[in-house]
Structure 1
Amino acid sequence: MSKIENLIINGSGSYSGGSYEKVSIRGEGTIVQDVECAAFHVYGTSKAETNVKADKVKVLGEAKVRGDLEAKDTTVMGTLEIGGRARLEKIKILGQLEAGERLTGVTATIKGGLTVNGDVEYETFDSSGGFEIKGLLSADTIQIGLRYGDSKAAEIGGERIMVKRKKNSLLPFGKSLGTLTAQVIEGDDIHLENTKADIVRGNKVLIGPGCEIGLVEYTADLQLDQSSVVKTKTKR
C-alpha cells in the first residue's frame, strides 16, 4: 500500500484504500480497498467495502465496514455497523454498534446500544445501556446496570457477574423497567436482579428482586429474594 499522509473527505465520492496517518470523513465517502491508519474519524457518512485497521476510531456520524475492523481505541457516538469480525481493544459506545460476527477486546463500556450476531469476549464488560448478543457474552468481570428495555444474551459466563437495577431519571418516580434475559448464566460470584434465565450456575449466587430462574446450581452459598421465582435449586 502506498504511503499517503492524510485522507480528508469533505465532499462525496469513492477513494482507494492504503496506509494513512489520518482518515477524516465529513461528507459521504466510500473506501473501496483495505485501509490502515493511525486515526479513523467519521463525522459524516462513510462506507468501507473491505477491512479497516486503526489505532483510534471515532464515529460521530454513520460508518459501515463491510469486512473486519481492528482498533486499539474506539468511541462510537453515532452508528457503526461492522459486517465481519471486530477486534476493538478498548471501546466506548454512546450511540449504536452492530457487529455481524464476533466482537473481542479488553475493555468495553456500553452506554448506548450493542447488537452482535456472534460471541462477545472481553476482560471487562460494563453496560448501562442495552444489548442483544446472539452468542456467548464472556468476560472476567461483567457489570450490567439495567435502566430500560430488555438486554439479551444467549449465554453469559464470567468470574464475577453483577446485574443490578438502575434508576432512570427519565422515567416517572425513578421506576426501573430494565431486564436481562439469558438461557444460561455461569460464573464464580453472581448477583442478579430483574433477570430471566433458564439456568444459573455459580459458587456464590445471590438472586435479588425481580428474577425468574428455572434452575439454580450453587457450590458455596445461595441467597434468594422473596419476590423472585426460582423453580429448582440444587447445591453441588
Structure 2
Amino acid sequence: MNDCKIYGAGAVSGGTYREVSIAGSGKIKGEITAESFSVSGSAKALDNLDVKTLKVSGSFSAEKNVKAEDIKIAGSLAVKENLSSAKAHISGSLKVGKEANVDDFFLKSSNSEIAALHGDNVTIKREMAIFFSKKHNLIEEIEATTIDIEYVKAKRVSGDNVTIGQGCIIDTVEYRDKITVSKEAKIDNIVKLG
C-alpha cells in the first residue's frame, strides 16, 4: 500500500493507503481507507473516511462519515454525518451532525455540538478557556453504560451509572443502577429505569 504525504498545500485522491499525513493544508477528494491518517494544520474530506488511527493537531472537517478505531484530537473535528470509533480522546471542539457511536469517549471542551452520542464509557469535562463565549457542550441525547459529564446541555441522558456534574442543564436523566448529581446542575426529570 502507498503512503500519501502533503507538506504545505495539496490534495489527496480517494483510495486505499497505508498512511496519509498532512502537514499544512489538505483536501481529500474521494473515499479514503487507511491504516493511519494524521493532520497537523487543517484538512477537509469531501467523502467518507475509514481509518485505523486518526490524529489531528489543528482542524479536520468531513462532509460525510468518519470511522476510526482510535481518535486523538487536539483542536477541532467536525463531521457532517456520523462518527464511529472504539476510542476517542478529544481536547478542543467536536461537532457531529448526526450520530457519534464511540465505545470509550473522552471530551474536554466548552463548545462542542453533537446530535446524539452513544457509547460504553462517556466522559465530558469542561475546557478551562476564557475565550469561548459558549459555556456548554450541546448534546441532544447521550446513551451509555457509564456517564460522567459536566457543562453539558442535553434533552436526554440515559445510562446505568450516571454522574451529572456542575454546569449541566438536562431535561431528563434516566439511570439503572446509580446516579450522582452536583448541586450546580439543573435537571427537570430523573427517572429510575427498571
Which residue of structure 2 aligns with residue 201 of structure 1? 174
Q: Return the alpha-carbon distance in structure 2 between the equivalents of residues 196 and 123 of structure 1.
A: 24
Q: For 1:115-164, what per-residue CA distance to the aligned partner results, in whole angstroms no more than 9, with x for missing partners?
A: 11010001100112242102x10111011112343111110000100124
8 Å CA contact 2:162, 2:180 repeated in 1: yes
Alignment partner for residue 158 of structure 2, among 181, 186, 190?
186
Which range moved further: 69-78 or 125-134? 125-134
Matches within 5 A, 1:32-181: 33-130=13-110, 131-134=112-115, 136-148=116-128, 149-164=135-150, 179-181=151-153
Code of the residue aligned with 2:36 in structure 1: it is K
Normalized per residue, which structure has more strand? 2
Q: Residue 183 of structure 2: SS of its match in structure 1?
A: coil
Code of the residue aligned with 1:188 in structure 2: it is D
Q: Return the alpha-carbon distance in structure 1 between the equivalents of residues 22 and 127 of structure 2.
A: 29
Amino-acid identity (%): 23
8 Å CA contact 2:163, 2:181 repeated in 1: yes
Q: For 1:10-64, what per-residue CA distance to the aligned partner results, in whole angstroms no more than 9, with x for missing partners?
A: xxxxxxxxxx521110122123x42221111110111112211111111001111
Residue 186 of structure 1 and its aligned partner are, at CA, apart by 0.3
Which residue of structure 1 aligns with residue 132 of structure 2? none
Which residue of structure 1 aligns with residue 9 of structure 2? 28
Paired residues, number:
185
Code of the residue aligned with 2:184 in structure 1: it is G
TM-score under structure 2 length normalisation: 0.90
Q: Return the alpha-carbon distance in structure 2 between the equivalents of residues 35 and 66 of structure 1.
A: 13
Q: Return the alpha-carbon distance in structure 2 between the equivalents of residues 147 and 58 of structure 1.
A: 23
8 Å CA contact 2:57, 2:74 repeated in 1: yes
Structure 2 regions of 5+ residues with no counterpart? 129-134
8 Å CA contact 1:155, 1:184 repeated in 2: yes
TM-score under structure 1 length normalisation: 0.75
Q: Residue 30 of structure 2: SS of its match in structure 1?
A: coil
Q: Residue 101 of structure 1: SS of its match in structure 2?
A: coil
Q: Return the alpha-carbon distance in structure 1 between the equivalents of residues 77 and 91 of structure 2.
A: 11
8 Å CA contact 2:92, 2:127 repeated in 1: no
Code of the residue aligned with 1:119 in structure 2: it is E
8 Å CA contact 1:205, 1:218 repeated in 2: no
